[in-house]
């Protein structure tokens, strides 16, 4: 085994020694967040003194915040929200960081040239970032189904949950695709990875049905209206689907760019009305319609996405 692998093995021993949080199926998010911050600090100044990292009061790690963790994760290409509190509610954090510093002291990295030492510390950060990705990929989006709520509100709540987890755009695209497939099972509805959707170089829109193109966006900007203008010039009918909160502004912009030639609808209404219609507006049939929608949604995500955190988990009152 190479020396670098031995270092990683030693770091992994520390990670595996951490207390497991049942909901995470691994260490607390705060501990991982603190580890990322400490490793960054060590690359700037290799100080293994535990007291150097403890804030006044002895319960928090210096420099640990949601924004500092997000900045580190962004440096490694991970942009999903993680440990928004920065681990401040994780009371076991300081003790676990103390054990990390003790483990590092056993490796004698201080004798290495700074470039080599920092390369090893970066590899430890990569290990933790990969665990963050594991965490995200285990966390499915929660659907809350309450028969007392309107279908519109259930869909709106699902989109709001996706927004809070930084997944709104992807979920909206797959939800519309699933809705179209559920409504028109005889038609092949395209299924592109959300990360490659609607690129101006190779796609005219997100979905085509008949001679109509559908654009799905949670943040309508000038580019999508330019696309709509181009679609109209090609003789296509156009739907622009946006969150209800963006509907008034999107309609005003659409009229400015496209006159009154395109349909601008809310994502919530576009999906929920179809579910109500398929259920023949009967409450007892609504559950099965939602189950079918989510089943198709998950099939579409599974077919093209590596990131399985985009899957939706059916609640117990639907499964």
Residues 134 and 146 in one domain: no
What is the percent of the chain with per-residue pLDDT over 90, rounded to a whole number? 71
Number of neighbours of residue 226 by Cβ within 10 angstroms: 13
pLDDT tier for residue 92 given thresholds of 50, 70 and 90: very low
- Between these two residues, 65 and 43, which has the higher pLDDT value? 43
Closest-CA residue to 197 (of 224, 170, 168, 175): 170
Residue 276 resides in a domain: yes
Give the pLDDT score at 266: 98
Residue 106 resides in a domain: yes
Q: Which of 93-102, 119-128, 180-189 bottoms out in mean pLDDT, i.e. has the lowest?
A: 93-102
Residues 160 and 304 in one domain: yes
Asked whether residue 116 carries a pLDDT value surpassing 80, the answer given is: yes
Residues 63 and 212 in one domain: no
Residue 66 resides in a domain: yes
Residue 319 resides in a domain: no
Give the pLDDT score at 204: 82
Residue 20 resides in a domain: yes
- Between these two residues, 136 and 278, which has the higher pLDDT value? 278
Residues 154 and 267 in one domain: yes
Residues 150 and 198 in one domain: yes
Cβ 240 vs Cβ 264: under 8 Å: yes
Cβ 281 vs Cβ 216: under 8 Å: no
Domain end, chosen from 110, 138, 166, is at: 138
In this predicted model, what pLDDT tens digit does every residue of 3-15 receive, in sequence order? 778 999 999 999 9
Residue 53 resides in a domain: yes
Residues 216 and 203 in one domain: yes
Q: In the predicted model, what is the mean pLDDT of the chain?
A: 89
Closest-CA residue to 121 (of 103, 134, 109): 109
Residues 252 and 288 in one domain: yes
Quick one: 250 exposed, middle or buried, by C-beta within 10 A (0-12, 13-18, 19+)? Answer: buried
Domain end, chosen from 138, 170, 192, is at: 138
Residues 93 and 159 in one domain: no
* Rounded-to-integer distance, Cα 43 and Cα 261, Å: 57
Give the pLDDT score at 179: 97
- Give the mean model confidence (pLDDT) for residues 282-305: 93
pLDDT tier for residue 41 given thresholds of 50, 70 and 90: very high
Residues 130 and 154 in one domain: no
pTM: 0.68
Residue 173 resides in a domain: yes
Residues 161 and 127 in one domain: no
Domain end, chosen from 138, 169, 191, is at: 138
Residues 119 and 210 in one domain: no
What is the percent of the chain with per-residue pLDDT over 70, rounded to a whole number? 92
In this predicted model, what pLDDT tens digit does every residue of 203-249 receive, in sequence order? 789 999 999 999 999 999 999 999 999 999 999 999 999 999 999 99
Structural domain count of the chain: 2
The boundaries of the domain holding residue 180 are 141-313
pLDDT tier for residue 194 given thresholds of 50, 70 and 90: confident
Residue 174 resides in a domain: yes
Residues 204 and 119 in one domain: no
User: What is the full DSSP assignment across the chain?
Assistant: --HHHHHHHHHHHHHHTSPPBTTTTBS-HHHHHHHHHHHHHHHHS----GGGGBPTTSSSBTT--HHHHHHHHHHTT--S---TTTTTT-TTHHHHHHHHHHHHHHHTGGGS-HHHHHHHHHHHHHHHHHHHHHHHHH-PEEPP--TTS-HHHHHHHHHHHHHHTT-HHHHHHHHHHHHHHHH-TTS------GGGTT-TTT-S-SEEETTEEEEE-SS--HHHHHHHHHHHHTT-EEEEEE-GGGHHHHHHHHHHHHTT-SEEEEHHHHHHHHHHHHTTT-HHHHHHHHHHHHHHHHHHHHHH-S-GGGSEEPPTTT-
Cβ 242 vs Cβ 264: under 8 Å: yes
- Between these two residues, 319 and 41, which has the higher pLDDT value? 41
């Amino acid at each position: 085994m190479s020396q670098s692998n031995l270092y990683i093995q030693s770091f992994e021993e520390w990670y595996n020694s951490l207390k497991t949080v049942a909901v995470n199926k691994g260490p607390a998010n705060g501990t991982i967040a603190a580890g990322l911050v400490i490793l960054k600090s060590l690359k700037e100044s290799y100080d293994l003194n535990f007291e150097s990292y403890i804030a006044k009061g002895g319960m928090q790690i210096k420099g640990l915040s949601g924004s500092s963790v997000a900045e580190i994760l962004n440096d490694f290409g991970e942009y999903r929200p993680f440990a928004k509190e920065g681990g401040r509610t994780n009371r076991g954090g300081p003790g676990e960081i103390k054990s990390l510093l003790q483990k590092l002291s056993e490796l004698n990295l201080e004798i290495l040239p700074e470039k080599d030492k920092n390369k090893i510390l970066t590899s430890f950060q990569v290990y933790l970032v990969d665990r963050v990705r594991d965490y995200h990929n285990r966390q499915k989006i929660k659907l809350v189904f309450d028969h007392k709520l309107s279908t519109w509100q259930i869909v709106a709540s699902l989109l709001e949950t996706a927004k809070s987890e930084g997944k709104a755009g992807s979920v909206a695209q797959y939800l519309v695709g699933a809705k179209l497939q559920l409504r028109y099972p005889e038609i092949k509805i395209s299924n592109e990875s959300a990360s490659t959707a609607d690129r101006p170089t190779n796609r005219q829109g997100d979905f085509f049905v008949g001679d109509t193109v559908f654009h799905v966006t949670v943040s309508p900007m000038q580019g999508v209206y330019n696309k709509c203008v181009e679609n109209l010039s090609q003789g296509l009918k156009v739907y622009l689907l946006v969150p209800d909160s963006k509907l008034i502004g999107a309609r005003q912009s659409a009229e400015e760019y496209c006159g009154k030639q395109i349909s601008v609808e809310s994502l919530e209404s576009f999906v929920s009305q179809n579910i109500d219609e398929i259920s023949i507006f009967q409450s007892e049939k609504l559950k099965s319609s939602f189950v079918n929608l989510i089943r198709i949604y998950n099939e579409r995500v599974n077919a093209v996405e590596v990131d399985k955190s985009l899957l939706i988990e059916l609640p117990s009152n639907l499964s």
